[in-house]
């Protein structure tokens, strides 16, 4: 059986207090209720940056600027493979709201370990804690 391969744009949104925005997935679907960094599936013809800007507007109602690529991670799950294109971002306009997620939180990098994330995110969390602690 051929597993599907998803390409995901991921935003690490950092505020002036060096806190990172995380959101909790809705209680339905794959990985329900887990915490994640906002983002979504890259559509055909889209760059990771275009995807992140579109997804963050849809999910959180804010406009972000992608500052730089932070990591590119490929992870195998049982049902599918994901490649995460992770960018450090800043909010240019608006105040984040949980439009397509259960809740949002601003947390310090060292606090990320207290939340349950999908396993593909562990490498991002480790790297954030090294770079921003």
Determine the Cα–Cα distance for residues 13 and 33; give it in Å rounded to an integer: 20
- 9 annotated among ligand-binding-site residues: no
CB–CB of 23/103 below 8 Å? yes
- 109 annotated among ligand-binding-site residues: no
- 37 annotated among ligand-binding-site residues: yes
CB–CB of 107/20 below 8 Å? yes
- 2 annotated among ligand-binding-site residues: no
- 36 annotated among ligand-binding-site residues: yes
CB burial of residue 72 (10 Å; 0-12, 13-18, 19+) = exposed
- 38 annotated among ligand-binding-site residues: yes
The residue count of the chain comes to 133
- 59 annotated among ligand-binding-site residues: yes
Q: Which residues participate in the annotated binding site?
A: 25, 36-39, 59, 121
Q: Which residues participate in the annotated binding site for Mg(2+)?
A: 39, 59
Q: Which residues participate in the annotated binding site for 8-oxo-dGTP?
A: 25, 36-39, 121
């Amino acid at each position: 059986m051929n597993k599907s391969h998803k390409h995901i744009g991921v935003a690490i949104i950092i505020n002036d207090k060096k806190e990172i925005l995380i959101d909790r997935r809705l209680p339905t679907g794959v990985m329900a209720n887990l915490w994640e960094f906002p983002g979504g599936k890259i559509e055909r013809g889209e760059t990771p940056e275009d995807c992140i800007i579109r997804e963050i507007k849809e999910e959180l109602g804010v406009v972000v600027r992608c500052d730089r690529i932070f990591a590119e991670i490929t992870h195998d799950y049982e049902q599918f493979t994901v490649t995460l294109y992770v960018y450090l971002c800043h909010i240019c306009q608006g105040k984040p709201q949980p439009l397509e997620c259960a809740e949002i939180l601003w947390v310090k990098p060292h606090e990320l370990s207290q939340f349950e994330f999908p396993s593909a995110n562990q490498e991002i969390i480790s790297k954030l804690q090294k770079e921003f602690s």
